[in-house]
Amino acid sequence: MTETVEREKLARATSGMQTISPSSNTNLRVPSRAKQPFWITEATDPAVKACPYHPEHRWWEFRIGDVLEDGYRNPDELMVICRGCYVTRCGHSTSPDPCMRPRHHREYHALRSGIKYPVGGNP
């Protein structure tokens, strides 16, 4: 069975629920208003490369409490995901010049301003 079919089966089975990972060692299942699972956190996920907006992505910022119904530590926290594949964007939503790549990418950071620098480095 292909990975896409497996993802679709998982999405149907978890309709109305969302697995979130607020830290690298935590997975929580919480009620969600999202139409499909999000919180894809890896740039290497096949859904990211299959995204209709790849490689630039179309970023969308939202208040987590508007999507997740309960169970998240801070409902007012902002999150940035791609409208096409739901991958989270690198960095923090509050950054004045964020990296415009998907989270956990391997390439250089590419800031909105056009500055590029190595992963693990500083601009």
Q: What digits encode the pLDDT tens for the residues 73-106?
A: 788 888 898 988 888 899 888 899 999 999 888 8
**CA trace torsion 7, 48, 24, 114 (10° rounding):** -170
Average pLDDT over residues 6-19: 46
The domain ranges of the chain are: 1-123
Where does the pLDDT of residue 6 fall: very low under 50, low under 70, confident under 90, or very high at 90 and above? very low
Within 10 Å of residue 18's Cβ, how many Cβ atoms? 21
To which residue do tokens 């139409």 refer? Answer: 35
Residue-level pLDDT at 31 = 62
Global pTM reads 0.65
Cβ neighbours of residue 8 closer than 8 Å, sequence gap 6 or more = none
pLDDT band at 36 (very low <50, low <70, confident <90, very high): low
Dump pLDDT digits (tens) for 41-84. 678 888 888 999 988 899 999 888 887 776 667 888 888 989 88
Distances (CA, A) of 61 to 47, 87, 106, 123: 19, 12, 23, 23
Provide φ and ψ at 80, rounded to 5°. -120, 120
